């Protein structure tokens, strides 16, 4: 979108000034922006060019938000989700209680099994009441929202 042009005259005792200027759009720069304590990549209007600069300014949460979710009806809600830390993170258990509509949820939304984890390696086991199981090993190292979609 091009903004309108303007012109003006300015007269002082010693100078006659004329300017005909176009108001330019702000350049759309990609890079990183701080959102909710996390540094996310953005295609335009970035706050920081480099990830390290964003992380230094943004800080972060002491725990990593991690969720296990699905967007299909697996026919066996609630699904027990167990997170077992392999590097000292301990064991936590939560329940995935409903499918998510419209794509990936945000960490903390109702429905997914939400965890607050220390960085490290975790084995995840999700178990349906019918006995169906899903397993995955994940490495958690960011201070941001991450997750695993099961189907």
> Using one digit for the tens of pLDDT, what is the confidence trace for 81-120?
999 887 655 678 888 888 887 778 888 888 899 988 877 8
Does residue 101 fall inside a structural domain?
A: yes
Round to whole Å and give the CA distance between 125 and 134: 6
Question: Both 120 and 137 in a single domain?
Answer: yes
Higher pLDDT, 23 or 125: 125
Token output for 1 = 């979108």
| Residue 104 resides in a domain | yes
Stated pTM of the model: 0.59
Residue that the structure tokens 């830390």 belong to: 85
The boundaries of the domain holding residue 37 are: 28-60
CA atoms within 13 A on the CB side of 86: 10
User: Do the domain assignments include residue 81?
Assistant: yes
119 and 48 inside one domain: no
120 part of a folded domain: yes
In the listed set 60, 79, 110, which residue is the last one of a domain according to the structure?
Answer: 60
Tokens found for residue 92: 């936590």
The answer to whether position 68 is within a domain reads yes
Same domain assignment for residues 103 and 83: yes
Overall number of domains in the chain: 2
Q: What is the mean pLDDT of the chain?
A: 76
Assess whether 42 and 114 both reside in one domain.
no
Tokens of 78: 């609630």
More confident of the two residues 51 and 96: 96
DSSP H/E element including 114? strand 113-117
Determine the average pLDDT of the residues in 48-68.
Answer: 76
H helices within the chain, ranges in order?
A: 51-58
Q: Is residue 6 part of a domain?
A: no
User: Domain for residue 15, yes or no?
Assistant: no
Q: What backbone phi and psi angles, to 5 degrees, belong to 52? A: -60, -40
């Amino acid at each position: 979108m091009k903004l309108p042009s303007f012109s003006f005259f300015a007269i002082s005792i010693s100078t006659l000034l004329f300017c005909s200027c176009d108001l330019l759009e702000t350049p759309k720069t990609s890079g990183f922006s701080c959102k909710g304590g996390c540094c996310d990549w953005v295609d335009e209007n970035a706050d920081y060019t480099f990830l390290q600069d964003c992380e230094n300014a943004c800080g972060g949460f002491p725990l990593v938000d991690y969720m296990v979710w699905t967007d299909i009806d697996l026919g066996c809600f609630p699904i027990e989700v167990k997170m077992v830390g392999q590097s000292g993170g301990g064991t936590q258990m939560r329940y995935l209680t409903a499918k998510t509509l419209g794509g990936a949820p945000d960490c903390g939304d109702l429905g997914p099994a939400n965890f607050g984890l220390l960085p490290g390696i975790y084995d995840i086991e999700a178990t349906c009441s019918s006995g169906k199981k899903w397993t995955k090993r994940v490495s958690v190292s960011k201070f941001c929202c991450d997750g695993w979609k099961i189907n």
